[in-house]
Structure 1
Amino acid sequence: MTNTTSVPPPATAPAGPVRRAERALAPDLARGAMLLFIALANAGNFAFAGQPGLDGTPHGVQRVVNFLLATLVESRAYPVFAVMFGYGLVQLASRHRAAGADERRVLLRRNTALIGFGLVHGLLLYWGDFLGAYGIVGVIATLLLLRRGDRFHRVVLWLWGVQSVSAVVLTWQAIARARGGHAVLTNTPNPSLAAASYGRSLLDRLTEWPVHTATVIPFIVIVWLGIWAARHRVLEEPAKHRALLRVTAVVGLGIAIVGALPYALVAAGVLHADAGTVDAMARVHAITGEYGGPGYVALFGLLALRLSRARRARALLGPVTALGQRSLSGYLFQSVAWLALFAPWTLHLGGTYAATLAAVAVWAVSLVAAQAMNAREYRGPAETLLRRITYRPARRTAA
């Protein structure tokens, strides 16, 4: 008889980080550009030590700034990243599955690491952190959504339909109950941003961050829409989905802008109403802002399609794309900058103009830094750390 020994098959390593040549243009372009909107929103939050970070009694150019921020930025930037997060989950899962790896194991490790990033960011730098919530939603999506079939994922389209009906009802109620008055926008205080010392702000964030994280987890419905879009390769094949992108851009941004107008006019000091009416307008502003997510993403999908035939324009937007590839580092860099510029125990800048100029300047600096890292083929400090946590243990197991 022949003595045979069974040898177990080698463990399959995950596919590893996405190489630059494999990346679709639209997601990186969207992330890089929308980091400016995130900067504008968060800088205002720091400058006024509260939300929405707008001056309730604007004058002169402040009126214009308030109107634009309320119409295009406030509650309209974070949904873009939620859509892109869901889209990225499917892309990562597909790559690892194609490589023969257990995509769930890799994604669970990555999203658990994001929760850790969010904990550190939320406690040490900024209470309004979204990374922890992304991590939690990523774990839920990995376990409950990613391996489902197309029929199941159509549910998210129905959920958005129900939300659209809710938005119409809220709008009708706001109009029907509208009353004139002299109420102005008031910033809901965030104690950690007004704290007189870093130690005091740290103690405040111990309670602020968990509450904020819990309240934003319902954006899983926006993430789920990104999952649906990724399953249909909408951004990888924009030419094939041109009609869908056009309709989504027009309808999504149309709802987001029209829904924001009453609140934006109050923010600009043009429309005068009582406190109840302003609150109703704020609710309409918030729910319609979610449509800015798919609307902006679709717009960047169309822009990427146009840039595919315009090499010169694509080269000019190279720094924006480079920042999009390093959006985690760019996001964390912003929070460090806001502490240095706006905290009462540092430079203590404040007001609309300081917030707006600081947001643009910090975003511009991050563009330069991202382009420099791109030239050296360096992924970025936060991205490098996240990838080490995500991939290294699996590689050791495979070895």
Structure 2
Amino acid sequence: MTTTLIATDHRGPVTGAERALAPDLIRGGMLLLIGLANAANFAFAGQPGLNGSPHGLERILNFLKITLVDARAYPVFAVMFGYGLVQLARRQRNSGTTASGVRKILLKRNAWLVAFGLVHATLLYFGDFLGAYGLVGIVCTLVLLNRGDRFHKIVLWIWGAQVVYVLVAAALTVLATVNSSGPAHVMTNSPNPSLGATNYWSSMVDRLHEYPAHTAFVLGFVVIVWLGIWAARKQVLENPAAHKTLLTRVAVVAMSITFLGGLPQALVAAGWLHVDEAAMSKMEFLHNLSGQYGGPGYIALFALLVIRINKTSLPVQAISALGQRSLSGYLFQSVSWMILLAPFTLNLGDRFGNTAYTAAGAAVLVWTISVIAAYQMKKRSYRGPAETLLRKLTY
């Protein structure tokens, strides 16, 4: 009997033994913060998704949301996206795939991500990041991935220079706060018509108008993705113990920047500080600028945690299983918010009377369900529906 071997210019999916724990744990854990941000946007039909006149525990929720979640969660996934690009390319090269074959796989995969993003934004949520990731991934594949180490050090200088920019923004914010003399400015949600629409068809039409501008705005995180490319080339997360000093420094510096940069606006959001509109504008700029450092900051914290935790414990396995299926988990969240929080579905935020508590509770519940579901998929060796589809389309 003759056996015919079919040659392929790519290798199969990564096996469990090949996976590093840190990237999966980061993606799985940070999906909770993504959920807290997006559920609140849905519930309040706008951004940042909070009650501008908080009372009781709402003050604490607002404070934590501004300092630890808003503009701080998505940079984590931007860094991890860049990290994943290098991992995928390295794995294909090591299996014998040609350079042109690797580039073709990456370009095709990212093109399909653009398509995933368009469908996601059209049907579920205008604030999609998949399309932007796909576009940035195409740029990185063509421009960044095959550069040398000296070239990639440029991104470190960019981030270092941006620290100076943050310090200037902080000084201007303090000055504006001290000189604040006008009427107190209360934080309000910037409305998104698609989130406030009273029927699904109207919401879809609104999303098609909102999505292009949102995608254009987030394309600027190519520098954040580039940082992930640099870290992946150093294999920082594959062996965090060997990079403990670097990770400790990044965690301390980056998290200090991201927390302190969000602190002024958080105090206003909690109702503990009252400033005029000019000062509030400076606070908002500082909040968004400093939030980028949440990407490397959170990643460093998780990597340091991996050094110390029991890797076989059930919670760690379950959360990392969600991280392995983060695309499915992300899309599952959007479906959940549409069902639970949209005005034309269950609209639980209004029905339960306290929108902030409802949004936070829904985020924790949906994330917990996704962790349990991902663990069950892991036990059955099922990759996840979105991951399976993307792989079939890519290869």
User: How would you bin the TM-score normalised by the shorter chain?
Assistant: over 0.9
SS in 1 for 2:241: coil
After TM superposition, give the deviation of residue 267 of structure 1 in Å. 0.5
**Which of the numbers 361, 367, 374 marks the counterpart of 2:365?**
361
Shift of residue 278 of structure 1? 1.0
Aligned mates of 1:108, 1:388 — CA distance in 2? 15
Distance 1:141 1:384 in 2: 24
Residues 305-355 of structure 1, C-alpha deviations (whole Å, 9 max, x = no match): 112xx355x333211111001000000000001011111111112210110
Q: Are 1:70 and 2:66 counterparts?
A: yes
The aligned counterpart of 2:200 is 198
Q: Which moved more, 1:340-349 or 1:190-199?
A: 340-349
Q: Report the AA paired with residue 370 of structure 1.
A: A
Paired with 1:148 and 1:164, the residues of 2 have a C-alpha distance of 25
Indicate the residue corresponding to 2:51 in structure 1. Answer: 55
**Among 290, 297, 301, which residue is 1:288 paired with?**
290
Cα pair 1:12 1:100 within 8 Å, conserved: no
Q: How does 1:262-281 map to 2 (within 5 A)?
A: 262-281=264-283
Where in structure 2 are there 5+ consecutive unaligned residues? 1-5, 350-354
Aligned partner of 2:127: which letter?
A: G
Residue number in structure 2 paired with 1:172? 171
Aligned residues: 380
* Separation in structure 1 between the aligned mates of residue 21 and residue 363 of structure 2, nearest angstrom: 24
What amino acid maps onto 1:329 in structure 2? S
Pairing of 1:262-341 with structure 2 (within 5 A): 262-307=264-309, 310-311=310-311, 314-341=313-340
What does 1:182-261 align with in structure 2 at a 5 Å threshold?
182-261=184-263
Cα root mean square deviation, aligned: 1.3
| Cα separation, 1, equivalents of 2:240 and 2:56 | 42
User: Aligned partners of 2:361, 2:314: CA distance in 1, in Å?
Assistant: 26
TM-aligned CA deviation for residue 175 of structure 1: 1.3
Q: Match for 1:378 among 375, 379, 382?
A: 382
CA distance in 2, matches of 1:311, 1:114: 31
Shift of 1:16: 2.1
The letter for the 1-side match of 2:115 is G
Which structure 2 residues correspond to residues 88-103 of structure 1 after superposition, within 5 A? 88-101=84-97, 102-103=101-102
What is the aligned-residue identity percentage?
Answer: 60
- Alignment partner, residue 3 of structure 2: none
Q: Deviations over 1:272-318 (max 9, x none)?
A: 001111111011010101001000001111111112xx355x33321
Separation in structure 2 between the aligned mates of residue 233 and residue 368 of structure 1, nearest angstrom:
29
> Offset of 1:370 from its aligned partner?
0.6
Separation (CA, whole Å) in 1 of partners of 2:360 and 2:314? 27
For 2:242, what is the secondary structure of its paired residue?
A: coil
Alignment partner, residue 153 of structure 1: 152
**Candidates 32, 37, 44, aligned match of 1:41:** 37
CA contact (8 A) 2:311 2:317 kept: no
Q: Aligned partners of 1:264, 1:90: CA distance in 2, in Å? A: 36
